[in-house]
Amino acid sequence: MKKLFFLIFCGTVFVCGCSSSNCSSITIVKGPYVLYPSERGAEIRWESLEKGCAGVVVVDPATGEKKTFHGDVSRYTMAEAWERQFEMENHSMTFFDYVVKVEGLDAGKRYMYTIKGDGSNNTYSFRTAPPEGATFTFAVIGDSANFGEGFEGNMTVLARFKPDILIHTGDLQYYSHVLDSWIKFFDGYAPVFSVAAFLPVRGNHEDELEGELERYFNRFFRYPGSGTTPYNYAVQYGSGLFITLDSEARGTLFDVQSRWLSSVIDEFNSRVTDGFIVVSFHRPPYTLALHAPDLDIIHKFVPVFQSKGVNLVLTGHNHVYERFEIGGITYIVTGGGGAMLYNVNEQIEKKEAGELSGETLEVVDEIYPLRVTGVSTYHTVVFEVGNGTVHGRAVDYRGNVLDEFEISFP
C-alpha cells in the first residue's frame, strides 16, 4: 500500500567528484536543467534517488565531436516524516544532487547532451550564449502552480517556440499543495528544460514553510554569488543583459541591490554599445490587479531603471497579464503561468469604491492611462531578438496572441 509522507532534509553530505567512465544506471527524478549559460558553457544539474556518476556527454551536431565533463554529487538525507497528500512508494529517504559545469564550447551553438548513467537514454540540448548582435529567443512565465489546463497549455506553447532561455518571475510552485511539488514542477517543465537554459527568480511562495527556501529552491538553483543577496545575478546573452533582483529582501537590502544594479549596468554599458537590458523580479511596481503597486520598488529600483537605460522589466505576483509603457520602459506583469487567476482591474474597482488612499491612490491614478493591455488568463510571453529590436508576444495557453509589441535598442 502506498504511504503519504512529507519529508524534511536533515543534512547535506558531499559525496564525490566522479570521473569514472563506468557509471551505474540511475533514474532522474528532477531535471536535467541548465543554469547560467555563457558563450563558453553552462551548468547542468539533476537529481536522483540513487547515487551514480556526475557525468555529461556533450555533442556538437555539426561536427559530431563529443566532450565528456564530470562534476560533483551531494547527498541529502531525510530526518523526519509526517503525512501529506502525496504518494511516494519505497522512498529511500535520500536524494542525490548532481552538478556538472560544461566549459570550453563555442559561442552561439546548440549542443546536444546526455547524462551518463541515465536509464532513460534521453537526449537534451542547450544553446551557448551567442555573440553580440546575434538573433535568439527568450521567454518568460510566472506563478506557475503546475496543475491543470492552463499550465499544460502554457508548456505546449513554450515547447512550440523552443526558446533559448526561459525566465521565471517567481512562485515556481506552491509547496502546500503536495509533499514534494518540486517533482511535479520538474516533470511539468521537462519539455522546455530539454531545450532552454533557465533563469529563475525568487518569489514569496518559495518560502512558505519553515526551512523550505534553503532545502529546495536554494538547493536546486544555487546562485553563483554575483550579486549582493543570494538571489541577485546577471547573465549576458547575445546583446542582452539579464538581471535578477530579489523583491523579497526588503529594507536596507533594497538599497544594496540598487547600488549593485547600477554597477552591473555600468559595466555592461562600458563593453556593449548596442545592447538591451532586462530586469526580472517577483513583485510588480506597476499593476492594477489584486496586489497593489509596490511602493518600495517604485522608490528604490525604478529610479535606477530610468537613469541607467533599462529597456524591459519582467514581474509576476499578480496572476494576470499586464503591459505598461512608462518613461520609455516596458513593464510586464506575467503571472498567468498556471496558478488561480486574479481580477486584472482590482485596484481600479477599489479606487471607484473609495478604498484607496495616499500614495497608492496617486500611483493608480498615474498608471491607469498607461496600461496598454490587461488580461486575466493563463499565458506566457515570448521574445525574439534581432536587428536592433526585441519583438514580444504574449500568448495564451490555447496559442492565441494576446498582445504584440516591439522594443528598439539601444
Sign, CA dihedral 249-255-256-258, equals positive
- Determine contact, residues 58/116, Cβ cutoff 8 Å: no
What CATH homologous superfamily does 136-408 map to?
Metallo-dependent phosphatases (3.60.21.10)
Question: 87 - beta bridge partners?
Answer: 4
Spell out the per-residue pLDDT of the chain, length 410, in tens. 333 233 333 344 444 545 545 678 999 999 999 999 999 999 999 999 899 999 999 999 999 999 999 999 999 875 544 334 344 454 556 889 999 999 999 999 999 999 999 988 899 999 999 999 999 999 999 999 767 899 999 999 999 999 999 999 999 987 654 456 688 889 999 999 999 999 999 999 988 877 778 888 888 987 766 667 788 999 999 999 999 999 998 888 899 999 999 999 999 999 999 999 999 999 999 999 999 999 999 999 999 999 999 999 999 999 999 999 999 999 999 999 999 999 999 999 999 999 999 999 999 999 999 999 999 999 999 999 999 999 999 999 999 999 999 999 97
Listed by start position, the domains of the chain span 4-127, 136-408
Write the secondary structure of the chain as one string of H (helix), E (strand) and C (coil).
CCCEEEEEEEEEEEEEECCCCCCCCECEEEEEEEECCCCCCEEEEEEECCCCCCEEEEECCCCCCEEEEECEEEEEEEEEEEEEEEECCCCCCEEEEEEEEECCCCCCCEEEEEECCECCCCCEEEECCCCCCCCEEEEEECCCCCCCHHHHHHHHHHHHHCCCEEEECCCCCCHHHCCCHHHHHHHHHHHHHCCCEEEECCCHHHHCCCCHHHHHHHHHCCCCCCCCCCCCEEEEECCEEEEECCCCCCCHHHHHHHHHHHHHHHHHHHHCCCCEEEEECCCCCCCCCCCCCCHHHHHHCHHHHHHHCCCEEEECCCCCEEEEEECCEEEEEECCCCCCCCCCCHHHHHHHCCCCCHHHHHHHHHHHHHEEEEECCCEEEEEEEECCEEEEEEEECCCCEEEEEEEECC
Q: Which fold has domain 4-127?
A: Immunoglobulin-like (2.60.40)
Distance CA 276, CA 138 (A): 13
pTM listed for this prediction: 0.92
- Are residues 16 and 82 in contact, defined by beta-carbon separation less than 8 angstroms? no
Write the single-letter amino acid at 82: W
Domains 4-127 and 136-408 share a fold: no
